[in-house]
């Protein structure tokens, strides 16, 4: 006789136990289906990179200063990069007391001759030659420009994403107006560069994630007015860097560690010059050696030739843009256009334009 307990026919399982097992199987199957059906964007941080520039993209308070984590780096590398089109302009001024056409035609007049060029690109950077604020008092100097914040919605609607305040008119109404200018630009979805509440913010980059690329934009002011009052300090608002070229190089190196592409907007040179000075050519080369990929220069109020260094375009001066028509030479201008291939090849060119009436540049090429 077999030992007790061996080869016995098992008894029936209780009904409650079978029901519990059935419920557990349903929950497990649902969990597997949930994770399988989740969209890739909830699993890959890099998916956010395939975006066109928009008001929510720039980070400017302060911009990204922490290197990406290994997980972010690996996920970003997996994102397929697209081609880019980037535009830059020279001096823009929307002060109605300086350009009375804005009182007659409105602020959209400034952009109506461009055939929507900036709306179709990926990023547009301008040099904004005025304090965009109703605060502050004029500092002692020959010309003081105050741009009405009411001009900013038309500017953004035209496709402008970045405004450089690092120039000899950003500080025209003092530190309070300069800080307020940054706030007004940000409220309207335009990233300010080249000036800040202190020297650290002034040289910091605005960051954009576009078509798989991380793009940094920095601004610098070598034409400080009034000197040295307008230069930002450790605890003082002002424009970026002044004559400290080492600080500019360090800013570009920092941006290059955080971004794939670095764009520099720089106010330099000498008024009415039609070719760049040797010192500015040397500085342009230093900035590219430090990691800059595109340089948009301005201040001379004259259009200057484009240069190329190590495959990177340097627009030494883009002349006037939204500006009074004082002369034929001053009204002859261009839009800088840079295309970037998915493999990272840069190509620059100048699209001819002309200021037909004050404050109204019109494209004369395509």
Superfamily of domain 51-363: Metallo-dependent phosphatases (3.60.21.10)
Residue 47 has pLDDT above 50, yes or no: no
- What is the pLDDT, as a whole number, of residue 19? 52
Residue 51 has pLDDT above 60, yes or no: no
The answer to whether 239 and 179 have CB atoms below 8 angstroms apart is: no
Q: Name residue 338's beta-bridge partners.
A: 86, 348
Q: What is the pLDDT of residues 132-179, one digit of tens each?
A: 999 999 999 999 999 999 999 999 999 999 999 999 999 999 999 999
Q: What are the structure tokens assigned to 146, written together?
A: 């105050």
Rounded distance between C-alpha atoms, residue 20 and residue 25, angstroms: 9
Rounded distance between C-alpha atoms, residue 152 and residue 107, angstroms: 8
The mean pLDDT of 259-286, rounded to a whole number, is 98
The answer to whether 218 and 263 have CB atoms below 8 angstroms apart is: yes
How much of the chain is helix, strand and coil, in % rounded to 5?
30, 25, 45
Distance (Å) of CA 363 to CA 96, 120, 360: 22, 15, 10
Please, which pLDDT band fits residue 246 given cuts at 50, 70 and 90?
very high
The mean pLDDT of 326-335, rounded to a whole number, is 98
Please, which pLDDT band fits residue 3 given cuts at 50, 70 and 90?
very low
Closest to 283 measured CA to CA, from 214, 198, 202, 223 = 223
Rounded distance between C-alpha atoms, residue 193 and residue 226, angstroms: 19
The mean pLDDT of 88-112, rounded to a whole number, is 97
Rounded distance between C-alpha atoms, residue 41 and residue 284, angstroms: 39
Residue with more model confidence, 79 or 123? 123
Please, which pLDDT band fits residue 124 given cuts at 50, 70 and 90?
very high
Please, which pLDDT band fits residue 189 given cuts at 50, 70 and 90?
very high
Residue with tokens 């984590």: 69
Residue 43 has pLDDT above 90, yes or no: no
Q: Number of C-alpha atoms within 13 angstroms, CB side, residue 76?
A: 18
Closest to 51 measured CA to CA, from 119, 123, 116, 124 = 123
Residue 201 DSSP SS3: helix
Residue 42 has pLDDT above 80, yes or no: no
Please, which pLDDT band fits residue 9 given cuts at 50, 70 and 90?
very low
Residue-range domain boundaries for the chain: 51-363
Q: What is the pLDDT of residues 203-244, one digit of tens each?
A: 999 999 999 999 999 999 999 999 999 999 999 999 999 999
The mean pLDDT of 178-207, rounded to a whole number, is 98
- What is the pLDDT, as a whole number, of residue 56? 36
Residue 50: CB partners within 8 Å, gap ≥ 6? 79, 80, 82, 211, 212
Distance (Å) of CA 36 to CA 30, 33, 39, 44, 45: 10, 5, 9, 14, 17
The total of other beta-carbon atoms located within 10 Å of residue 137's CB is 10
Range ranked top by mean pLDDT from 38-42, 46-50, 98-102: 98-102
Closest to 193 measured CA to CA, from 291, 256, 126, 123 = 126
């Amino acid at each position: 006789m077999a030992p007790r307990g061996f080869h016995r026919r098992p008894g029936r399982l209780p009904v409650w136990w079978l029901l519990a097992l059935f419920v557990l199987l349903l929950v497990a199957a649902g969990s597997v289906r949930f994770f399988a059906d989740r969209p890739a964007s909830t699993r890959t941080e890099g998916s956010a990179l395939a975006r066109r520039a928009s008001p929510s993209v720039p980070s400017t308070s302060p911009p990204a200063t922490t290197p990406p984590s290994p997980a972010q780096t690996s996920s970003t590398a997996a994102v397929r990069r697209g081609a880019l089109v980037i535009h830059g302009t020279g001096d823009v001024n929307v002060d109605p007391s300086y350009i009375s056409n804005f009182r007659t035609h409105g602020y959209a007049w400034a952009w109506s001759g461009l055939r929507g060029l900036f709306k179709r690109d990926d990023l547009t950077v301008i040099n904004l030659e005025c304090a965009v604020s109703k605060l502050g008092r004029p500092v002692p100097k020959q010309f003081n420009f105050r741009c009405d914040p009411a001009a900013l919605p038309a500017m953004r609607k035209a496709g402008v994403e970045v405004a450089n305040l690092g120039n000899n008119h950003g500080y025209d109404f003092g530190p309070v107006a300069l800080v307020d200018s940054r706030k007004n630009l940000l409220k309207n979805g335009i990233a300010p560069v080249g000036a800040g509440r202190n020297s650290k913010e002034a040289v910091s980059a605005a960051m954009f994630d576009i078509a798989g690329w991380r793009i940094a934009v920095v601004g610098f002011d070598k034409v400080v007015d009034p000197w040295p009052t307008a230069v930002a300090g450790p605890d003082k608002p002002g424009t970026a860097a002044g004559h400290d070229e080492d600080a500019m190089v360090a800013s570009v190196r920092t941006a290059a560690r955080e971004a794939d592409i670095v764009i520099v907007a720089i106010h330099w040179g000498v008024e009415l010059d039609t070719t760049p000075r040797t010192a500015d050519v040397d500085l342009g080369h230093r900035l590219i050696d430090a990691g800059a990929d595109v340089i948009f220069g301005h201040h001379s109020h004259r259009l200057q030739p484009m240069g190329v260094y190590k495959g990177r375009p340097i627009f030494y001066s883009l002349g006037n843009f939204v500006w009074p028509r004082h002369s034929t030479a001053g009204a002859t201008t261009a839009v800088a256009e840079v295309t970037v291939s998915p493999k990272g090849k840069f190509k620059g060119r100048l699209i001819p334009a002309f200021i037909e009436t004050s404050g109204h540049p019109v494209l004369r090429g395509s």
